[in-house]
Amino acid sequence: MDNQQIDSLDKKILSLITKNARIPFLEVARECKVSGAAIHQRIQRLMNLEVIKGSEFIVNPAKIGYHTCAFMGIFLKKASLFNKVVEMLHDIPQITECHYTTGSYAIFIKIYAKNNEDLKRMLHDKLQAITGISSTETIISLEETFKRQLPIE
Amino acid in the structure at residue 84 = K
Residue 67 is predicted with a pLDDT of 98
Residue 89: how many CB atoms within 10 A of its CB?
19
Task: Burial-class residue 118 by CB neighbours within 10 Å (0-12, 13-18, 19+).
Answer: middle
Say if residue 38 is in the same domain as residue 66. Answer: no
Domain count, the chain: 2
Say if residue 34 is in the same domain as residue 100. Answer: no
> Cβ distance 72 to 138 under 8 Å?
yes
Q: Is residue 148 part of a domain?
A: no
The range of the structural domain enclosing residue 128 comes to 61-141
Residue 3 is predicted with a pLDDT of 56
Predicted confidence (pLDDT) at residue 1 exceeds the cutoff of 50? no
Say if residue 88 is in the same domain as residue 27. Answer: no
pTM of this structure: 0.84
CATH number for the domain harbouring residue 37: 1.10.10.10
Say if residue 66 is in the same domain as residue 107. Answer: yes
pLDDT in tens, 42-101: 999 999 999 999 888 889 999 999 999 999 999 999 999 999 999 999 999 999 999 999
pLDDT in tens, 87-144: 999 999 999 999 999 999 999 999 999 999 999 999 999 999 999 999 999 999 999 9
CATH number for the domain harbouring residue 128: 3.30.70.920
Say if residue 69 is in the same domain as residue 131. Answer: yes
